[in-house]
């Protein structure tokens, strides 16, 4: 349900009890970046210029880049942006966990800095949450529809791994490895995540499915990069994905995820700082801050 106020800007309102109104929901867009100088500025501009039905923040973690990525982040003066830099390359998964630890929103969604996805799809992903239909939304890439895959092997490989996940967890997902996984921040923090590399993407979905959560899927666009353009996924990551799926499926299950979805997120926060401390070589969470300076010299 939505209504149009006098200023013409659509606002979403609550349909069911317990679902946050647009004014209460804040989306944290988490952007890991490693040597993404070629696309980072454009990606940030695209995210910040998109019209959202709620408040947003953009949390960027520079994962030890050696190109001009730090310089680009140093030029950002938008108050909605929080930036953090890993002292060395620690993996995309580690960067995403750092971003989630810094985030201050009610919900989160990963977003790559390589322009393969469009932030214009994020408002449509928020709509079912604001309407009270679900809490977890996946932006699904429809094979051959509004998408561009550089490699047949990548497209078919994703479908094969998605099938493996569906069989293991008795689910019916369409796209296991979509980047766009929107969920409550407390739910993400409730997971006992162990992967610091690309395997974290698989582990997130595996733990969601293991907890009995079935994401609502919304179609999104996708423009795949080639290896020459900076694509980093290889066939070895597919083998890693199968290992992660099996480890989570046949491992022990905990109830923190279900409690987080029932609004008991305060019980989950105690586990997340310890995991983040591990990732960041024992830097205490209170030191999370934006080390980049805005144009006027103040901390962004």
Q: What is the pLDDT of residue 238?
A: 65
Full-model pTM:
0.78
Tell me the pLDDT band of 83, cut-offs 50, 70 and 90: very high
Cβ contact 190:265 at 8 Å = yes
Question: What is the token pair recorded at 297?
Answer: 């010299």
Beta-bridged to residue 121, according to DSSP, are none
Taking only the tens place, the pLDDT of each residue in 61-81 is 999 999 999 999 999 999 999
In the predicted model, what is the mean pLDDT of residues 143-147? 56
Taking only the tens place, the pLDDT of each residue in 176-197 is 999 999 999 999 999 999 999 8
Cβ contact 12:1 at 8 Å = yes
Taking only the tens place, the pLDDT of each residue in 7-39 is 444 443 334 445 566 779 999 999 999 999 999
Q: What is the pLDDT of residue 217?
A: 97
User: Between residues 224 and 234, which one has the greater pLDDT?
Assistant: 224
Q: What share of the chain is helix, strand, coil (3-state, %, to 5)?
A: 35, 15, 45
Tell me the pLDDT band of 146, cut-offs 50, 70 and 90: low
For residues 106 and 27, what is the distance between their CA atoms, to the nearest angstrom? Answer: 6
């Amino acid at each position: 349900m939505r209504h149009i106020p006098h200023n013409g800007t659509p606002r979403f309102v609550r349909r069911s009890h317990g679902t946050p109104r647009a004014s209460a929901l804040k989306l944290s867009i988490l952007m890991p970046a490693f040597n993404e100088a070629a696309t980072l500025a454009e990606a940030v501009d695209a995210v910040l210029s998109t019209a959202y039905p709620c408040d947003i923040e953009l949390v960027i973690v520079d994962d030890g880049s050696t190109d001009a990525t730090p310089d680009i982040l140093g030029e950002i003066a938008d108050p909605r942006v929080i930036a953090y830099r890993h002292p060395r390359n620690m993996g995309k998964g580690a960067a995403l966990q750092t971003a989630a630890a810094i985030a201050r929103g009610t919900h989160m969604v990963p977003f790559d800095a390589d322009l393969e996805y469009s932030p214009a799809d994020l408002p449509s992903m928020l709509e079912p949450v604001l309407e009270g239909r679900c809490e977890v939304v996946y932006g699904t890439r429809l094979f051959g529809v509004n998408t561009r895959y550089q490699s047949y092997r990548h497209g078919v490989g994703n479908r094969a791994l998605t099938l493996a996940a569906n069989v293991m967890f008795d689910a019916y997902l369409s796209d296991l490895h979509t980047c766009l996984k929107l969920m409550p921040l407390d739910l993400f923090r409730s997971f006992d995540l162990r992967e610091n590399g690309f395997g974290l993407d698989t582990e997130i979905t595996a733990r969601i499915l293991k907890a009995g959560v079935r994401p609502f899927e919304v179609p999104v666009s996708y423009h795949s990069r080639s290896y020459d353009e900076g694509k980093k996924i290889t066939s070895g990551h597919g083998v890693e994905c199968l290992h992660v799926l099996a480890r989570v499926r046949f491992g022990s299950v905990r109830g923190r995820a279900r409690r987080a979805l029932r609004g008991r997120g305060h019980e989950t926060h105690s586990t997340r700082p310890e995991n983040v401390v591990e990732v960041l070589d024992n830097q205490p969470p209170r030191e999370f801050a934006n080390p980049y300076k805005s144009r006027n010299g103040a901390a962004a």
